Amino acid sequence: MSIIRIIAVGIAILLASSCNGQATDSETIETTISQSSERYAHYLGNAGVMISDGETKLLFDPLFEQNFHIYQKVPASLQAKMLAGEAPYDDVDVLLISHAHGDHFSADMVLAYMSANPLVKLVAPKQAVDKLAVAGLSKTDMTRVTAIDQQIADKPIIVQIGSIMIEAITIPHSGGQRFADVRNTVYRVHLQNQYQVIHLGDATIENPPFAKQQEFWDEQSNELLLTPYWLFKNPQRQANIDVHIRPHRSIGIHVPTALHELKKRYGSALDEVDLFTKPGEERDLNSIENEN
């Protein structure tokens, strides 16, 4: 069950001296490097995160083309590795798309990813799947897709993919009326040992939509929350996290690259929180098991 990924690097250095009757000395130095832990979060860019848990790998909002000159893109080299299924992006089980906005989702890139990675499954709101259909999603590939067709405040839709259980609810997109038509899917993915990960997409700052889903938040322990940074701004917004979801741990995503400018507007609100800002950075997610 547990696979600790360890690279053992054995370096044998043989120091031999043969001249002038000196003693022959031999020494072996063995170095063990413990790589990333079994369960970890790996940042891609904007709201894109890979969660790896033993044999399970998930990609949230990993393939997009737009950043509106504000947000962190996935670097080209990292994107190429992902598309090629190269480590650490090999053997991905599921792609999860929060919504069909250009800074979270590119239909062309998702299609390319699916054809390059023929075993991967996709879970996405119907609005994104409709865009995939327009972009040329084949009937065969459609069998790997689960389209979430859901309204705000609906009960969760449960998707089972192998041993991975995914719950989906729909929380309004931030920005009020401007994005009222956008279906923003929030996922809670169940990993091994009752470890649940939630990705909020571009969830609203308003409290009532979160309050309406209180039963959902309370049903399970919510170990890790991946939240747009804007919920950290003030106590009213933070209530969505602290009062409603109540996760063990939160990491802010969707952080503008000009973080120093953002901090001018946010005062000290972002000083004490954990933010993903550099593609490739990781967080060890094993520690929760020790807290119980």
Q: In whole angstroms, how close is the CB of 247 to Zn ion at the nearest point?
A: 21
183 binds Zn ion (CB under 5 A): no
Place of tokens 């309050």: 211
Exactly one of 39, 57, 101, 254 binds Zn ion (CB under 5 A); which one? 101
Stretch that binds Zn ion, among 2-10, 95-103, 240-248, 249-257 (CB under 5 A): 95-103
**What's the gap between Cα 137 and its chain centre?**
24
Site mask, Zn ion, residues 189-228, x = CB under 5 A? -------------x--------------------------
Closest separation in Å from C-beta 61 to Zn ion: 10
Q: Which is nearer to Zn ion, 189 or 200 (CB)?
A: 200
Q: Tabulate helix, strand, coil % of the chain (nearest 5).
A: 30, 30, 40
Longest Cα–Cα distance in the chain:
88
What is the closest distance, in whole angstroms, from the C-beta atom of residue 104 to Zn ion in the complex?
A: 6
Closest CA to 275 of 243, 292, 250: 250
- In the complex, residue closest to Zn ion by CB: 101
User: How remote is the C-alpha of 83 from its chain's centroid?
Assistant: 16
- In terms of DSSP bridges, do strands 94-96 and 121-125 run parallel, antiparallel, or are they unpaired? parallel
- In the complex, the smallest distance separating the C-beta of residue 101 from Zn ion, rounded to whole angstroms, is 3
**Which region among 17-25, 99-107, 148-156, 268-276 touches Zn ion (by CB under 5 A)?**
99-107
Contacts with 153 (C-beta within 8 Å, 6 or more apart), sequence order: 170, 209, 212, 213
β-bridge partners, 170? 185
The residue (of 101 and 188) whose beta carbon lies closer to Zn ion is 101
Burial zone of 266 (CB within 10 Å; 0-12 exposed, 13-18 middle, 19+ buried):
middle
Residue 61 contacts Zn ion per CB under 5 A: no
- For the bound state, the minimum distance from the C-beta of residue 266 to Zn ion, rounded and expressed in Å, comes to 20
- Where does this chain bind Zn ion (CB under 5 A)? 101, 202
